[in-house]
Amino acid sequence: MRIHDHPILGPLPSVREVKLLFNGRPIMAREGEPIAAALVAAGVWESHCSRKAGEPRGPFCMIGRCTDCVMVVNGIPNVRTCITPVEEGMGVETQVGRGEMKHAEG
Amino acid sequence: MKTGGPEHAVGIPKSQPHAVIECPQEIPCDPCVEACPHGAIRKEGSIASIPVLDEELCQGCGECIPACPGLAIFLVDSCYSEDCALVGLPHEMLPMPVAGERVRLLDRCGREVGVGTVTEVRLRGAYDRTAVVYVAVPRGLEDVVRAVAVLPPDDHYVCRCEEVTRQMIERAVEDGATTVDAVKRLTRAGMGLCQGRTCRRLVSAIIAEKTGKPLEEILPATTRPPLRPLPLDVICRGDDEL
Ligand code: SF4
Ligand code: SF4
Ligand code: FES
């Protein structure tokens, strides 16, 4: 789902395409767009699985408030994907519960 | 807040259903103009001007209601029956009411003003999931009612992060938790990842409802820094650029 020609904002400007890895699967995205936007455009709505009930959750507020869109990004869990820009080669994984740190940050 | 009102209906025979456009902001938007099959809605001059309803041309079909992204258009029939008026309104909430259902009537500020009966729910493909709910309201309320609410089931989540339901919060209030902090301590509502951004106002409203106190008197939760989620190493490094 992507709006290519917005009646007010006009046509989508062309930007570099980058590849992100969603659960190991390559997905093409627009450089700099929020990760959640790239995933929704690719038909992925589920970001994580809730901690207590184990229910699927997905982007809800899209403005960085609700934390329903959190995923494991480059090994770091609980990253709000609706406000985190896509970068080339980024690894994005569906989070389970509170998630696990894959490796220490740089 | 302006309460709108009968001035919208000036010049329209009382018995005729007609659109009521409550769109006071000059924004570049005109789906309402395109949606009206009878050419009854116009924008004079720029696309950012306020839409004007031609009362002579309006047939009361309601097609403009789901087209407005601002949910600003309603349908009013002041003489629906002997004691009821009819209001058509856009509805984008779940659960969806069904024809015949009794629903709570809300005013423009979300305050409950009475109970009405749904007469019809229209949801066509072209409406893009915005339903139009027609509800019979006591006469005199047609210029007041602007939304309906189906009573929420008790197992709706209020705190999404900690998965705390309305019922759990109500039980905490019954157990004596009458401030947002007290509810938090008993249920964990507000202690999840988003730190209460989603639920704190809802929790206050439930406490107010259960205790019968005005909302302003419900003590809010204590707010402490950091005010937005930060990775701990930012604090450890002492970066001043966040
Ligand atoms: S109710 Fe029908 S005729 Fe009246 S303004 Fe809306 S779309 Fe046009
Ligand atoms: S579509 Fe709704 S918000 Fe837009 S101009 Fe018409 S009435 Fe106003
Ligand atoms: S969707 Fe709410 S924080 Fe991302």
Average of per-residue pLDDT values in chain A? 92
User: Is B209 within 8 Å of chain A by CB?
Assistant: no
Report the alpha-carbon distance of residue A19 to residue A88 in Å, rounded: 5
Q: 3-state SS of B30-64?
A: CHHHHHCCCCCEECCCCCCCCCEECCCCCCCCCCC
User: Is A74 within 8 Å of chain B by CB?
Assistant: no
How close A67 comes to chain B (CA, Å)?
Answer: 6
Ligand at shortest distance from the CA of B72 = 2
* Of the partner residues B192, B194, B233, the one whose CB lies closest to the CB of residue A105: B233
* Of the partner residues B193, B197, B233, the one whose CB lies closest to the CB of residue A78: B193
Centre of ligand 2 to C-alpha A97, Å, is 42
What pLDDT score was predicted for residue B228?
76
The answer to whether residue A103 scores a pLDDT higher than 80 is no
Centre of ligand 3 to C-alpha A70, Å, is 7
Tokens found for residue B15: 């018995």
ipTM of the complex: 0.79
Q: Over the stretch B160-177, which tens digit does the pLDDT of each residue have?
A: 999 999 999 999 999 999
Band of residue B232 on the pLDDT scale cut at 50, 70, 90: confident
Q: Over the stretch B8-53, which tens digit does the pLDDT of each residue have?
A: 444 455 568 999 999 999 999 999 999 999 999 999 989 999 999 9
Report the alpha-carbon distance of residue B16 to residue B188 in Å, rounded: 52
A54 to chain B: closest CA residue: B163
Under an 8 A CB cutoff, do A67 and B231 touch? no
What pLDDT score was predicted for residue B144?
97
Of all helices (H) and strands (E), which one includes residue B118?
Answer: strand B112-122
Strand partners, B106: B112, B147
